[in-house]
Amino acid sequence: MLRHLIASLLLAAGCAPARAWVPPPPAQPADVTLVWVGTGECERFVDGRWVRAPQFDYDFSVEQRRGKDRWDSVKSLRRRHPDYDGSAGERTLTWFFQLDLGQDVNGKLPMTLTTSLGAGVGSTDREFREAVLELDPKLSTLAPFDRYRITQRYHYEDGRLDEVVSLDKGTTPWVRNVERATLFGAHAFAAPPTTR
């Protein structure tokens, strides 16, 4: 019990940002705004295999403003499991992401990331269907991970986003969150969508 408490305190201290991060002003204007709503299921890498850790599961939403050369995203996360112990941060968290898109290189677009989790790089295809991102969060050496590795697969025709967020120490996996989200589009209602 004491070992778990000490590990949780070290993790919380090692993952806390040194100072408040201020998001950059939004790109003006966005060509399109997408809103994704979904869930994340947590798994820990234990003895060479992935083991579910449902107390770390979460609901999330992402507001994604896409421009020609830059995307701005805000991700809000909510952990609802009654056994969540706080070791991965507050139950409700908000993160900001700015993705600056580079020039096409053999069918791939490089990306530079400025985020509230740390700086990073990535790449995607011309249709923005598959992306790979890597963030360097600048954590304490006591933290059990030093990289966020993210793979995204956008299924626009199905209104679906599949994403894996991996927290790794070097090349060794520690935790991964498997996310599934649904795309919401603007539309009008002919009548109130709910009544009593």
- Please list the alpha-helical segments (H only) found in the chain: 2-15
pLDDT digits (tens, 9 = 90+) for 45-54: 999 999 999 9
Residue 144 domain-assigned?
yes
Residue 189 domain-assigned?
no
The total domain count for the chain is 1
Query: Has residue 3 got a pLDDT over 50?
Result: no
The CATH number that applies at residue 50 is: 2.40.128
Start-to-end C-alpha separation, the chain: 49
C-alpha angle 73/156/50, rounded to 5°? 75
Residue 100: strand pairing partners = 70, 112
**Contact, 99 vs 69, CB < 8 A?**
no
pLDDT at 27: 65
Residue 132 domain-assigned?
yes
Domain hosting residue 39, numbered range: 2-184
pLDDT digits (tens, 9 = 90+) for 27-86: 678 889 999 999 999 999 999 999 999 999 999 999 999 998 999 999 999 999 999 999
